[in-house]
């Protein structure tokens, strides 16, 4: 039983963080349903919504840390954008992460499902081309960036996500940030977000340290490989993969909520 749990958790950590590094997400868009459905499927564990969200949040921190480390020498991380959105998302995720202790599991699933649908719809809107000029000129609305990241932080803190699966569509479709800058910068923003969210989960007493440690090992390995792929992959492949992941997850979560 223990060996099976270790193997399942490692694979979940590796796969989710590979996608995290490649697509600029925290990995929770796939990690949340994987943690919810795969352990029971293989008969190794059953987790509540609060436990799943706590495990996902710990994994998000280490997955984005590995991704940011890989991107550290590139010019793709925009420091101003990271500060504008990072500070407010940390505050929001801390509030959401701690406040989730009073929210029923079904409500957490519902919030996650709503976030996934919104992100899926926004991903259908094309973003600007990757010229990078929009970012060089700081051509995005700072008020929208700060307020939207705070709201995303609160919601993502509740469900144990870094929030990148909805933050990325906002950055591309509303703020007009080029895709590759979005991917690299969102990793840094979500890293900050996960600090607040993870602190909230720890204070609430939902973190399971044994399972978290296994996820972290898989995350650190997977995120590094994923970030390297993300730096060379074509824009269409990256955006298409992210859109498919969001759509599939949204359909699965809503199917479970309704039926």
Per-residue model confidence as pLDDT tens digits over 129-169: 544 444 454 578 889 999 999 998 898 888 866 677 778 88
- 14, pLDDT greater than 80: yes
Sequence-distant (6+) residues with CB within 8 A of 205 are 101
Alpha-carbon distance of 13 to 257, in angstroms, equals 25
- 22, pLDDT greater than 60: yes
**What's the confidence (pLDDT) of residue 63?**
74
Under DSSP, the state recorded for 204 is: H
Of the ranges 17-31, 84-98, 126-140, 218-232, which is most confident? 84-98
* Sign of the alpha-carbon torsion through 104, 46, 256, 198: positive
Alpha-carbon distance of 154 to 159, in angstroms, equals 9
- 10, pLDDT greater than 90: yes
Q: What is the tens place of the pLDDT at every residue in 162-203?
A: 677 778 888 888 888 888 888 888 888 888 877 877 888 888
**What's the confidence (pLDDT) of residue 123?**
67
User: Residue 176 CB: number of other CB atoms within 10 A?
Assistant: 15
Residues 155, 200 contacting (CB under 8 angstroms): no
Alpha helices in 24-104 (DSSP H): 28-41, 49-71, 79-99
Residues 176, 142 contacting (CB under 8 angstroms): no
Alpha-carbon distance of 231 to 190, in angstroms, equals 18
- Global confidence as pTM: 0.69
Q: Mean pLDDT of all residues in the chain?
A: 81
- What is the token pair recorded at 228? 């390297």
Q: What is the tens place of the pLDDT at every residue in 193-238?
A: 778 778 888 888 888 899 999 988 988 888 778 878 877 777 677 7
Q: How much is the CA Rg of the chain, to the nearest whole Å? A: 17
Residues 150, 89 contacting (CB under 8 angstroms): yes
Alpha-carbon distance of 128 to 218, in angstroms, equals 34
Alpha-carbon distance of 224 to 229, in angstroms, equals 9
Average pLDDT over residues 88-115: 85
């Amino acid at each position: 039983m223990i060996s099976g749990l270790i193997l399942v958790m490692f694979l979940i950590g590796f796969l989710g963080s590979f996608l995290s590094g490649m697509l600029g997400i925290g990995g929770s868009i796939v990690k949340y349903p994987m943690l919810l459905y795969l352990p029971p499927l293989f008969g190794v564990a059953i987790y509540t919504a609060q436990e799943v969200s706590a495990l996902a949040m710990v994994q998000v921190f280490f997955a984005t840390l590995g991704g940011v480390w890989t991107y550290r020498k590139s010019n793709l991380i925009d420091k101003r954008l990271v500060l504008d959105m990072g500070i407010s998302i940390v505050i929001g995720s801390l509030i959401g992460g701690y406040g989730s202790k009073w929210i029923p599991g079904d409500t957490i699933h519902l919030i996650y499902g709503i976030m996934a649908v919104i992100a899926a719809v926004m991903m259908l809107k094309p973003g600007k081309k990757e010229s990078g000029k929009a970012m060089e000129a700081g051509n995005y609305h700072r008020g929208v960036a700060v307020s939207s990241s705070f709201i995303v932080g609160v919601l993502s803190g509740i469900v144990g996500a870094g929030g990148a699966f909805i933050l990325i569509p906002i950055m591309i479709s509303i703020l007009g940030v080029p895709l590759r800058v979005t991917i690299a910068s969102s990793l840094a923003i979500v890293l900050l977000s996960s600090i607040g969210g993870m602190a909230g989960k720890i204070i609430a007493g939902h973190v399971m340290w044994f399972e978290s440690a296994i996820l972290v090992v898989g995350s650190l390995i997977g995120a590094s490989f994923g970030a390297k792929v993300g730096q060379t992959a074509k824009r269409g492949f990256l955006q298409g993969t992210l859109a498919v992941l969001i759509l599939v997850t949204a359909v699965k979560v809503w199917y479970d909520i309704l039926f």
